[in-house]
Amino acid sequence: MDAEDSTQLVSLYVAQKKIYPRSVQGLFAKWRWGLVILTQIIFYGLPWLEWGQRQAVLFDLGARRFYIFGIVLYPQDFIYLTGLLVISALSLFLFTAVAGRLWCGYACPQTVYTEIFLWFEHKFEGDRSARMRLDAAPFSLKKLWRKGGKHLAWIAFSLWTGFTFVGYFAPIQQLGGDFIAGQVSAWGIFWILFYGFATYGNAGFMREQVCKYMCPYARFQSAMFDKDTLIVTYDEERGEPRGARSKKADLSTLNLGSCVDCSLCVQVCPTGIDIRQGLQYECIGCGACADVCDTVMDKMGYARGLVKYSTQNAMVNKWDGKQTLRRVMRPRVLVYTGILWLIIIAVFASLLMRTPFKVDVVRDRAALARIVQGGKVENVYRLQFMNAAEHALDFKLTAEGINGLQIVTEDTVNVPATEARWVTVRLQMPYDAAASGTHAIHFNIQSVDPQGQEVGHLSEKSMFLVPR
Ligand code: SF4
Ligand code: SF4
């Protein structure tokens, strides 16, 4: 036999096995559905809420305004987005330190939408074994109706999701009217289809593969776990040796642990893993295996908790629930909680205390400085007045920094509610009031509401150039 004959082609590719998660009921399933309902009421309902004459939550990218109930933000308020991102990241660290992938198992959009899509699948095709039989069955009208009906429901739900998503960036009532009249803009249609397609693909087909292969969080989660983190755990000492037995059998006479090897914990797992093999990175901590195992334990008349949320330390030291929870509140968790609250308070306090207007000063680059009638020196500026209040504001302008400096254009500017306005402002000073060169000056701006009450004031720095 020569070398060529002995060469064998070995494929390292393993086709993805389709997972058919079995439906499950129990405490953690209730929590998950509670969060699914809560998050979806917020997501689908929020864009329809009105606040005065406008949509309560609207991110108007065209006008560069972000409306969040009574708050109107401009791109210059980017710092609040940074604050929000820091709060989100710290919350994730905190929840992970306390109970592992709590976010993944209960509130992550991938989990939430997969759960909803599975609900549709269950309604059209039945539970796990019925779905497996349907997939293996040859083509028939019944199969066409079940599969076709499911996909139509998925597509309708995905398009509604895409429509809602776009409704956060364009007034949703108008968008709805345009949709009915067939007058949605090309960009609007693109984003509805794009987001709808992403929902359909991720929740209908990709499912656990997003968690396993695409989500970066799965990769670094283990760095945030320690021996006091609550994770879904199989009590190996109690469960092994596993094996089937009659319900009536006396456990003390059998050389068996509590696990009846029914494999239900594997069948309900949305990522298709076996929790009895220990903590695996694919586990999203959803608790479905704990729920189903508790029902098996109930049927067998054994104590619940063969699969449960527990910590490594609790398992080793055989702590009860109270002892475990006491240890979960460890210094690391308290430090995360403290920092998180500090940042939340700081962001909200600065949001509540901020002046509802902003002014940007830009020097006119075309004419740096010039001598005008009467021998005065003139500099020209462009001022942008941004009104973040829900009513019109008058801005009263003064300038200081050089003797005799005065505004020779309008010194009161009216800006309608939530609008921004650019205004050209000319400053003049007597020729000999300052030496040649640049001089620091300040624009003082006082804002007044329609009732004549001062809303706030601020001072913006700039430069005045005196030519030689
Ligand atoms: S559900 Fe419980 S009893 Fe059944 S195989 Fe899993 S761990 Fe064992
Ligand atoms: S092993 Fe259990 S907790 Fe982990 S993903 Fe599977 S069902 Fe959810």
Task: Give nearest CA residue, ligand 1 atom 4.
Answer: 262
Task: Give nearest CA residue, ligand 1 atom 8.
Answer: 259
300 Cβ inside 6 Å of ligand 1: no
The pLDDT of residue 3 is 52
The pLDDT of residue 254 is 85
User: What's the burial of 198, exposed, middle or buried (CB within 10 Å: 0-12/13-18/19+)?
Assistant: middle
234 CA distance to ligand 1 centroid (A)?
9
The pLDDT of residue 4 is 55
Q: How confident is the model at residue 218 (pLDDT cuts 50, 70, 90)?
A: confident
In a mutational test of the pocket of ligand 1, which residue from 247, 251, 291, 296 has the highest number of ligand atoms less than 8 Å from its CB? 296
Q: What DSSP state is assigned to residue 396?
A: E
Segment 341-360, tens digit of pLDDT? 999 999 999 988 888 899 99
The pLDDT of residue 123 is 96
- Name the least confident of 30-34, 76-80, 142-146, 270-274: 76-80
The pLDDT of residue 34 is 96
Q: Which atom of ligand 1 is nearest to the CA of 260?
A: 3
Mean confidence (pLDDT) of the chain = 92
362 CA distance to ligand 2 centroid (A)?
58
Give the bridge partners for 439, in sequence order.
464
Residue 225 neighbours by CB under 8 Å, 6+ apart: 96, 97, 100, 231
Instruction: Please determine, for residue 425, whether its predicted confidence score (pLDDT) is greater than 80.
Output: yes
The pLDDT of residue 408 is 95
211 Cβ inside 6 Å of ligand 1: no
Instruction: Please determine, for residue 386, whether its predicted confidence score (pLDDT) is greater than 60.
Output: yes
288 Cβ inside 6 Å of ligand 1: no
Task: Give nearest CA residue, ligand 1 atom 7.
Answer: 259
From the CA of 242, the nearest ligand is 1
Segment 298-330, tens digit of pLDDT? 999 999 999 999 999 999 999 988 888 888 888
91 CA distance to ligand 2 centroid (A)?
22
Instruction: Please determine, for residue 419, whether its predicted confidence score (pLDDT) is greater than 70.
Output: yes
Residues above pLDDT 70, as percent of the chain? 99
277 Cβ inside 6 Å of ligand 1: no
Instruction: Please determine, for residue 362, whether its predicted confidence score (pLDDT) is greater than 60.
Output: yes
From the CA of 263, the nearest ligand is 1
The pLDDT of residue 11 is 80
Does residue 218 contact residue 212 with C-beta atoms inside 8 Å? yes
Positive or negative torsion for Cα 202, 94, 332, 236: negative
Q: How confident is the model at residue 249 (pLDDT cuts 50, 70, 90)?
A: confident
Q: Which atom of ligand 1 is nearest to the CA of 266?
A: 6
Positive or negative torsion for Cα 190, 195, 196, 200: positive
Q: Can you tell me the distance from the alpha carbon of 333 to that of 325, in angstroms, rounded to the nearest whole number?
A: 12
Does residue 74 contact residue 389 with C-beta atoms inside 8 Å? no
User: What's the burial of 162, exposed, middle or buried (CB within 10 Å: 0-12/13-18/19+)?
Assistant: buried
Helices (H), ranges, 138-253: 141-166, 172-181, 186-201, 208-209, 217-224, 236-239
Task: Give nearest CA residue, ligand 2 atom 8.
Answer: 286
Segment 124-179, tens digit of pLDDT? 999 999 999 999 999 999 999 999 999 999 999 999 999 999 999 999 999 999 99
What is the radius of gyration, based on Cα positions, of the chain? 32
Tokens of 385: 């007045």
pTM: 0.84
Instruction: Please determine, for residue 2, whether its predicted confidence score (pLDDT) is greater than 70.
Output: no
Residue 308 neighbours by CB under 8 Å, 6+ apart: 232, 233, 235, 290
Q: Can you tell me the distance from the alpha carbon of 462 to that of 465, in angstroms, rounded to the nearest whole number?
A: 10
262 Cβ inside 6 Å of ligand 1: yes
The pLDDT of residue 422 is 94
From the CA of 32, the nearest ligand is 2
The pLDDT of residue 5 is 62
Instruction: Please determine, for residue 48, whether its predicted confidence score (pLDDT) is greater than 60.
Output: yes
Q: Can you tell me the distance from the alpha carbon of 194 to that of 294, in angstroms, rounded to the nearest whole number?
A: 41
Segment 257-294, tens digit of pLDDT? 999 999 999 999 999 999 999 988 889 999 999 999 99
Q: How confident is the model at residue 251 (pLDDT cuts 50, 70, 90)?
A: confident
Task: State the DSSP H helix or E strand holding residue 77, giving kind and residue range, or none if neither.
Answer: none
Higher pLDDT, 249 or 108: 108
**69-90 average pLDDT score:** 90
Instruction: Please determine, for residue 68, whether its predicted confidence score (pLDDT) is greater than 70.
Output: yes
